[in-house]
Amino acid sequence: MKLLLVEDDRETAAYVKRALTEAGHAVDHATDGRDGLLLAAGETYDVMVLDRMLPSIDGLAILRTIRASGVKTPVLLLTALGGIDDRVEGLEAGSDDYLVKPFAFAELLARVNALARRPPPQDVQTTLQVADLEMNLLRRTVTRAGKRIDLQPREFQLLEYLMRHAGKVVTRTMLLEAVWDFHFEPRTNIVESHVSRLRAKIDRNNAKELIHTQRGAGYSLREPD
Amino acid sequence: MWRSASLRLAALYTLAFTAAVAVLGLVTLLTTRAALSQQFDARILSESAALAQEFRVEGVLGVADAVQERDRTPGALDYGLEGPGGRPIAGRLAGRRAVAGWSTLRMAGAGGEREKVRLHAAALVGGYRLLVGGDDEDIDAVDDLLARRFALATVGVVLIGLAGGYGLARGMGRRIAALTDAAEAIIDGDLSRRVPATRSGDDLDRLAATFNRMLDRIATLMESLRQVSSDIAHELRTPLTRLRGRLEASLGRPAGAERTSAEESGALEGALADLDAILATFAALLRIAQIEGGARRSGFQAIDLAAISRTVVEAFAPSAEDAGQRLELERPASVVIEGDRELVTQMLVNLVENGLRHAGPRACVRVGCCVQRGRPVISVSDDGPGVPASERERLFDRFHRLEASRSTPGSGLGLAMVAAIAKLHGAEVSLHDAAPGLDVRVTFPAGAGTL
B206 touches chain A (CB under 8 A): no
Q: Tell me what pLDDT residue A122 has.
A: 57
B232 touches chain A (CB under 8 A): no
According to DSSP, the residues that pair with A213 across neighbouring strands are A219
List the single range of A106-110, B41-45, B168-172, B382-386 with lowest mean pLDDT. B168-172
For residue A147, what is the domain's CATH number? 1.10.10.10
pLDDT > 70? residue B409: no
Same domain (yes/no): A106, A14: yes
Residue A23 to residue A102: CA distance in whole angstroms: 19
- Per the CB < 8 Å rule, is A12 touching B253? no
- Residue A163 domain-assigned (yes or no): yes
Cα B188 to Cα A209, B197, B396, B430: the distances in Å are 54, 22, 22, 22
Q: Which residues of A touch B357 (CB under 8 A)?
A: 187
- Per the CB < 8 Å rule, is A85 touching B295? yes
- Per the CB < 8 Å rule, is B315 touching A180? yes
- Per the CB < 8 Å rule, is A81 touching B286? yes
Rounded to the nearest angstrom, the minimum Cα separation between B276 and chain A is 9
pLDDT > 50? residue B406: no
Q: Tell me what pLDDT residue B289 has.
A: 78
Helix (H) / strand (E) containing B304: strand B301-304
pLDDT > 80? residue A176: yes
Neighbours of B409 (CB within 10 A): 8
Residue A136 or residue B17, greater confidence: A136
Same domain (yes/no): A203, A109: no
- Residue A13 domain-assigned (yes or no): yes
| CA diameter of chain B | 158
Residue A76 to residue A96: CA distance in whole angstroms: 6
B51-62 pLDDT, tens per residue? 888 888 888 888
Counted across chains A and B, CB pairs separated by less than 8 A come out at 129
Q: Tell me what pLDDT residue A200 has.
A: 92
Same domain (yes/no): A7, A87: yes
Cβ neighbours of residue A117 under 8 Å, at least 6 residues apart? A46
**Cβ(B130)–Cβ(B146) below 8 Å:** no
pLDDT > 70? residue B346: yes
pLDDT > 90? residue A76: yes
Q: Tell me what pLDDT residue B352 has.
A: 94
Residue B96 to residue B80: CA distance in whole angstroms: 9
Cβ neighbours of residue B396 under 8 Å, at least 6 residues apart? B415, B416, B418, B419, B429
Residue B90 to residue B186: CA distance in whole angstroms: 96
Neighbours of B76 (CB within 10 A): 12
- Residue A121 domain-assigned (yes or no): no
Residue A81 to residue A101: CA distance in whole angstroms: 6
B116 DSSP assignment: E
- Which one of B248, B283, B357 has the shortest CB-CB distance to A82? B283
Interface probe for A, chosen from B240, B251, B253 (most Cβ of A below 10 Å), is B253
Most confident among A108-122, B121-135, B280-294 (mean pLDDT) = B121-135
- Per the CB < 8 Å rule, is B285 touching A82? yes
Q: Which residues of A touch B290 (CB under 8 A)?
A: 82-85
B148 touches chain A (CB under 8 A): no
- Residue A76 domain-assigned (yes or no): yes
Same domain (yes/no): A68, A135: no
Same domain (yes/no): A85, A150: no
Same domain (yes/no): A73, A156: no
pLDDT > 70? residue B448: no
Most confident among A194-198, B106-110, B417-421 (mean pLDDT) = A194-198
Most confident among A63-72, B225-234, B284-293 (mean pLDDT) = A63-72
Q: Which residues of A touch B319 (CB under 8 A)?
A: 188-190, 192-193
Rounded to the nearest angstrom, the minimum Cα separation between B199 and chain A is 41
Rounded to the nearest angstrom, the minimum Cα separation between B16 and chain A is 60
Q: Tell me what pLDDT residue B93 has.
A: 83
Mean pLDDT of B250-262: 59
B8 touches chain A (CB under 8 A): no
List the single range of A112-121, A133-142, A153-162, B329-338 with lowest mean pLDDT. A112-121
Same domain (yes/no): A111, A132: no
Cα B106 to Cα B61, B67, B96, B147, B388: the distances in Å are 28, 20, 10, 24, 94
What rounded mean pLDDT belongs to chain B?
82
Rounded to the nearest angstrom, the minimum Cα separation between A107 and chain B is 11
B318 touches chain A (CB under 8 A): yes
Secondary structure, 3-state, chain A: CEEEEECCCHHHHHHHHHHHHHCCCEEEEECCHHHHHHHHHHCCCCEEEEECCCCCCCHHHHHHHHHHCCCCCCEEEEECCCCCCHHHHHHHHCCCEEEECCCCHHHHHHHHHHHCCCCCCCCCCCEEEECCEEEECCCCEEEECCEEECCCHHHHHHHHHHHHCCCCCEEHHHHHHHHHCCCCCCCCCHHHHHHHHHHHHHHCCCCCCCEEEECCCEEEECCCC
Preceding amide of A102 cis, omega within 30: yes
Most confident among B135-149, B180-194, B280-294, B371-385 (mean pLDDT) = B371-385
Neighbours of A60 (CB within 10 A): 22
- Which one of A18, A82, A188 has the shortest CB-CB distance to B319? A188
- Per the CB < 8 Å rule, is B249 touching A19? yes
| Residue where one domain finishes, among candidates A64, A82, A115 | A115
Same domain (yes/no): A107, A163: no
Same domain (yes/no): A95, A179: no
B201 touches chain A (CB under 8 A): no
- Residue A111 domain-assigned (yes or no): yes
| Residue where one domain finishes, among candidates A115, A135, A159 | A115
User: What's the burial of B141, exposed, middle or buried (CB within 10 Å: 0-12/13-18/19+)?
Assistant: exposed
B351 touches chain A (CB under 8 A): no
B174 touches chain A (CB under 8 A): no
Q: Tell me what pLDDT residue B192 has.
A: 78
Residue A182 to residue B349: CA distance in whole angstroms: 10
- Per the CB < 8 Å rule, is B242 touching A12? yes
Interface probe for A, chosen from B232, B246, B248, B326 (most Cβ of A below 10 Å), is B248
3-state secondary structure of B250: helix
- Which one of B246, B291, B299 has the shortest CB-CB distance to A88? B299
Please report the sign of the dihedral spanned by the C-alpha atoms of residue B178, residue B180, residue B186, residue B190: negative
Which one, of A161, A158, A167, A169, lies nearest residue A201 by Cα? A158
Mean pLDDT of A80-93: 78
Q: Tell me what pLDDT residue A225 has.
A: 73
Rounded to the nearest angstrom, the minimum Cα separation between A180 and chain B is 7
Q: Tell me what pLDDT residue A196 has.
A: 93
pLDDT > 50? residue B184: yes
Mean pLDDT of B246-271: 72
Rounded to the nearest angstrom, the minimum Cα separation between A193 and chain B is 5
**Cβ(B73)–Cβ(B60) below 8 Å:** no
pLDDT band of residue B299 (cuts 50, 70, 90) is confident
Indicate the residue type of A82: G
Domain hosting residue A210, numbered range: 127-221
Cα A191 to Cα A188, B22, B64, B323, B360: the distances in Å are 9, 86, 134, 14, 21
Residue B181 to residue B185: CA distance in whole angstroms: 6
pLDDT > 70? residue B134: yes
- Residue A120 domain-assigned (yes or no): no
Which one, of B365, B407, B400, lies nearest residue B386 by Cα? B365
| Residue where one domain finishes, among candidates A115, A139, A173 | A115
Percent of chain B with pLDDT over 90: 15
Cβ neighbours of residue B339 under 8 Å, at least 6 residues apart? B300, B301, B303, B425, B444, B448
Mean pLDDT of A140-155: 92
pLDDT > 70? residue B256: no
User: What's the burial of B117, exposed, middle or buried (CB within 10 Å: 0-12/13-18/19+)?
Assistant: buried
- Residue A22 domain-assigned (yes or no): yes
pLDDT > 60? residue B253: no
pLDDT band of residue B98 (cuts 50, 70, 90) is confident
pLDDT > 90? residue B306: yes
Q: Which residues of A touch B311 (CB under 8 A)?
A: 180-181
Same domain (yes/no): A157, A110: no
- Per the CB < 8 Å rule, is B316 touching A104? no
Residue of B nearest to A107 (CA): B254
Mean pLDDT of B293-303: 74
- Residue A122 domain-assigned (yes or no): no
Percent of chain A with pLDDT over 90: 47
Report phi then psi at B425, rounded to 5.
Answer: -95, 5
pLDDT > 80? residue A130: yes
Mean pLDDT of A141-168: 92
Please report the sign of the dihedral spanned by the C-alpha atoms of residue B394, residue B397, residue B400, residue B405: positive
Rounded to the nearest angstrom, the minimum Cα separation between A198 and chain B is 11
**Cβ(A59)–Cβ(A52) below 8 Å:** yes
Rounded to the nearest angstrom, the minimum Cα separation between A19 and chain B is 6
**Whole-structure pTM value:** 0.67
pLDDT band of residue A28 (cuts 50, 70, 90) is very high
Residue A96 to residue A133: CA distance in whole angstroms: 28
Percent of chain B with pLDDT over 70: 90
B392-405 pLDDT, tens per residue? 777 776 666 555 55
List the single range of A200-204, B11-15, B117-121, B380-384 with lowest mean pLDDT. B11-15
Mean pLDDT of B185-194: 75
Mean pLDDT of B238-264: 72
Cα B61–Cα B66–Cα B69 angle in degrees, nearest 5 = 125
Same domain (yes/no): A22, A93: yes
Cβ neighbours of residue A94 under 8 Å, at least 6 residues apart? A63, A64, A67, A75
Domains of chain B: 5-142 (3.30.450), 203-292 (1.10.287), 296-443 (3.30.565.10)
- Tell me which residues of chain B, numbers 257 to 276, contact chain A at a CB-CB cutoff of 8 Å: 276
- Tell me which residues of chain B, numbers 283 to 312, contact chain A at a CB-CB cutoff of 8 Å: 283-287, 289-291, 295-296, 299, 311
Residue B448 or residue B375, greater confidence: B375
Interface probe for B, chosen from A84, A86, A197, A215 (most Cβ of B below 10 Å), is A84
Mean pLDDT of A181-198: 90
pLDDT band of residue B366 (cuts 50, 70, 90) is very high
Rounded to the nearest angstrom, the minimum Cα separation between A9 and chain B is 7
Cα B352 to Cα B203, B364, B424: the distances in Å are 53, 11, 20
Please report the sign of the dihedral spanned by the C-alpha atoms of residue B71, residue B77, residue B78, residue B80: negative
Same domain (yes/no): A109, A173: no
Mean pLDDT of B27-38: 90
pLDDT > 70? residue B446: yes
For residue A54, what is the domain's CATH number? 3.40.50.2300
List the single range of B344-348, B386-390, B447-451 with lowest mean pLDDT. B447-451
Cα B23 to Cα B20, B143, B147, B152, B406: the distances in Å are 5, 15, 12, 14, 78
- Per the CB < 8 Å rule, is B279 touching A102? yes
Q: Tell me what pLDDT residue B451 has.
A: 41
- Tally of domains in chain A: 2
Please report the sign of the dihedral spanned by the C-alpha atoms of residue A21, residue A24, residue A28, residue A33: negative
- Which one of B237, B286, B349 has the shortest CB-CB distance to A102? B237
- Per the CB < 8 Å rule, is A84 touching B296? yes
Pairing of strands B428-433, B438-443: antiparallel
Cα A144 to Cα A162, A201, B58: the distances in Å are 15, 10, 154
